[in-house]
Amino acid sequence: YDTKTPPSSTGDPTSFAYVSARERWPVIITQAIDDVHRSTWATKDEEESKEGKWIVSELARLKYELQHNRELSPLPDEGESDIAGYNKELEALGRPKWHNVPWLYSECYLYRRISSIFTQTQKWKSYDVFARQKMSSFQSSRPAVLELAARYKDIVTELESKHTIKGAKTQEELEEAEKILFVEMCEICLWGNATDLSLLTNLSYEDIQKLQGSEARKESEKKIVVNDLGKAFEVLTLAQKSREKDRRVDIVLDNAGFELFVDLILAGYLLAAGLATTIVLHPKSIPWFVSDVLPHDFAALISALADPQNFYTTLSDVDKHAGKTPIPLSESEVSDLKFLFEHWSRFHAEGQLVLRPNRFWTEGGSYWRLPKLEPSLWEDLKESELVIFKGDLNYRKLTGDALWPATTPFAEAIGPLGPKSGVRVLALRTCKADVVVGLPESEDERIRATEGGGGDSGARKWAWSGKWAVVQFCDGKA
Ligand code: F6P
Ligand code: MG
């Protein structure tokens, strides 16, 4: 049940897989080592400190094996059900080496292997080695967070008190305004993905902040190569008009911090506008691709909003060292953020905003395997009006991370999740990897010819940086 189209491989010198395995992953492991070092140094618990040193040595071993192109070793059986699947696949791949192995599998393996190091200890079992980075990056997206919070409060207050949107007088105008807002919220949600931390190794913070403001967003619309948001809006309004009582939208989450914040903005908007009655969020179960959402990241975000002044005036160690002084929030900023806290907590408490983890999301294969490998999750997703897949990795998993011609229809590239599957798929993806499908004829060539697009190097460089995006929809219920 995998695609027959060959997968992207770390052995292909024209691919981002090649750069990732050789340049990005060693940096990510080094950052993990630094993090554990800091925590080990800070603890007074002897056992914890001893285990911390062991973790550092295991991470260093992993980095050595990666950089010296050794074989990927079988994962130790630490009791979780997914280990057997990872190891079986390793056998089937013929004990591959790091520098020539399918990209998707090896990158998942990398994070699974890191996680298994922690689970083998007593004191570090639930330690999230990327938590520090996630929270401090959320702190530095403050300007965009404040801008969005104010806007969200305005829109939602209007919708909930007057059941309308500012300026809309007739039903048609209201629908039109709802569509414009839906598209805007989704685009905010899309570009929120450009800020993931696994890319920070080649994008500066300044680059990232530029990607977050509203001016920037308008400019970025030109960078959405395919945009199916209109189709997604249509299915949600149709369901709303049919007066079905339960209308659920799912979001297969990607990154924590700013991206999760904008996912919640979209979720809250859909609920307030009546475009959905329940939102189900799907987080990861282990620290994943540096910045992906774990259940505790959701809790951390909500508690940051519960006491925003404290959150924004408590400096991270790095900022303290840099001699920064905290700038307090104004009264209205505090009140906007608290409004979000109350709004989202209420939805959460009333069961309209649900978190539903599943180990499937951190397995090593593509989503082509979902219906067969995890039938109960698959059946559950069929209950939804629309399943939104956020980010680059989800897109790679949808398409099997395979070397499709760029003009392959999206519906074909997602295999069993395509037409007549019973699930409606919407991918919101900023491009950070080679695979891209569903493009009009010669669009790939056109963008390759732009600055930094890759030219005739044989590499699709434009799709690596997170600066271009695709929004693709497939109606599996049609
Ligand atoms: O391109 C860098 C990369 O780490 C990819 O390997 C991976 O698919 C992606 O970023 C993770 O990004 P996202 O958080 O958008 O899934
Ligand atoms: Mg991610």
Please write the tens of the pLDDT for every residue from 411-425: 999 999 999 999 999
Calculate mean pLDDT across residues 232-260.
Answer: 94
Closest atom, ligand 1, to C-alpha of 103: 6
Ligand 1 contact, 396 CB (< 6 A) = yes
CB half-sphere exposure, 233, CA atoms < 13 A: 21
pLDDT score at 191: 86
Mean pLDDT over all residues of the chain?
Answer: 92
Closest atom, ligand 1, to C-alpha of 433: 1
24-33, 167-176, 203-212, 290-299: which has the minimum mean pLDDT? 203-212
Ligand nearest 202 Cα, by number? 1
Amino acid identity, residue 140?
S
Q: What is the pTM of this model?
A: 0.94
Tens of pLDDT, residue by residue over 373-388, are: 999 999 999 999 999 9
Closest atom, ligand 1, to C-alpha of 199: 2
When pLDDT is cut at 50, 70 and 90, the band that residue 216 belongs to is low
Residue nearest to atom 1 of ligand 1 (CA): 432
Six-digit token pair at 396? 């790679």
Residue 244 has pLDDT above 90, yes or no: no
Ligand 1 contact, 336 CB (< 6 A) = no
Residue 362 alpha carbon to ligand 1 centre in Å:
14
Residue 46 alpha carbon to ligand 1 centre in Å:
37
When pLDDT is cut at 50, 70 and 90, the band that residue 142 belongs to is confident
Tens of pLDDT, residue by residue over 332-363, are: 999 999 999 999 999 999 999 999 999 999 99
When pLDDT is cut at 50, 70 and 90, the band that residue 148 belongs to is confident
411 backbone dihedrals φ, ψ, rounded to 5°: -60, -30
471: nearest Cα among 394, 378, 404, 405: 394
Six-digit token pair at 287? 């620290």
Tens of pLDDT, residue by residue over 188-213, are: 899 888 754 444 444 445 554 554 55
ipTM over 0.90: yes
Pocket of ligand 1, candidates 199, 429, 436: which has the most ligand atoms within 8 Å of its Cβ, to mutate? Answer: 199
CATH 1.20.930.60 assigned to 16-128: yes
Contact call for residues 390 and 251 (beta carbons, < 8 A): yes
Ligand 1 contact, 453 CB (< 6 A) = no
Tens of pLDDT, residue by residue over 32-70, are: 999 999 999 999 999 999 999 999 999 999 999 999 999
Ligand 1 contact, 475 CB (< 6 A) = no
pLDDT score at 210: 54
pLDDT score at 122: 97
Residue 225 has pLDDT above 60, yes or no: yes
Residue 370 has pLDDT above 50, yes or no: yes
Ligand 1 contact, 271 CB (< 6 A) = no
Which range in 101-115, 185-199, 243-257 is most confidently predicted, on average pLDDT? Answer: 101-115
Ligand 1 contact, 434 CB (< 6 A) = no
Ligand nearest 198 Cα, by number? 1
Residue nearest to atom 4 of ligand 1 (CA): 198
Ligand nearest 256 Cα, by number? 2
Domain boundaries, the chain: 16-128, 133-475
